[in-house]
């Protein structure tokens, strides 16, 4: 786990939605191809998930799917351009299946608590490994960013 600076950036984003946890895979399956098609040559990094809230009790999250894009990118339809400002962050590289990120999140939560920092305002998950190209979930890299003030 590292403490550092999140560079910020410009993202092509799906509509922010409140979803039940079991709806997340279908949401990504529906939105990521559209983001990829719309972003095309403007994509400048790995696909992402934005998370503003994660409610274990209700089993729901407030989230969006996103792709980092060049500043000149325009969006249409249900998609928008989201600009994230540079911020302080805590980050961890997690290798494994998406549904097993719990320990990585706990480590980040503990690091923030130890420094007296409240839960992050936003979490950005970068999906570095393409599951379509790599079938072994143990090799899937997800970089988890806790964006803090």
Higher pLDDT, 76 or 95: 95
**Number of neighbouring beta carbons within 10 Å of residue 86:** 11
CB 130 within 8 A of CB 74: no
CA dist., res. 60 & res. 111, Å (int): 24
In CATH terms, the fold of domain 2-148 is Multidrug-efflux Transporter 1 Regulator Bmrr; Chain A (3.20.80)
105 CB burial (10 A radius; 0-12, 13-18, 19+): middle
Domain residue extents for the chain: 2-148
Kindly report the pTM of this predicted structure.
Answer: 0.93
pLDDT per position as a tens digit, 83-137:
999 999 999 999 999 888 989 999 999 999 999 998 898 999 999 998 889 999 9
Give residue 105's region: left, alpha or beta (phi > 0; psi -120 to 50): alpha
Q: What is the pLDDT of residue 74?
A: 87
For residue 29, give every residue at least 6 positions away whose Cβ sits within 8 Å of its Cβ, in sequence order, or none: none
Three-state DSSP at 106 gives helix
Distance of CA 85 to the CA centre of its chain: 15
Q: What is the pLDDT of residue 38?
A: 95
pLDDT per position as a tens digit, 19-71:
999 999 999 999 999 999 999 999 999 999 999 999 999 999 999 999 999 98
Three-state DSSP at 34 gives helix
């Amino acid at each position: 786990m590292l403490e550092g600076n999140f560079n910020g950036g410009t993202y092509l984003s799906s509509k922010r939605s409140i979803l039940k946890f079991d709806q997340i895979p279908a949401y990504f399956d529906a939105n990521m191809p559209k983001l990829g098609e719309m972003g095309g040559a403007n994509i400048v990094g790995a696909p992402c998930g934005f998370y503003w809230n994660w409610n274990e009790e209700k089993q729901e999250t407030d989230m969006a799917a996103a792709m980092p894009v060049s500043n000149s990118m325009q969006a249409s339809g249900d998609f928008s351009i989201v600009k994230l400002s540079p911020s302080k962050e805590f980050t961890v590289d997690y290798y494994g299946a998406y549904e097993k990120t719990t320990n990585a999140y706990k480590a980040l939560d503990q690091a923030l608590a130890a420094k007296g920092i409240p839960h992050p305002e936003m979490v950005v998950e970068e999906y570095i490994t393409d599951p379509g190209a790599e079938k072994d979930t143990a090799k899937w890299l997800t970089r988890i960013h806790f964006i803090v003030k």
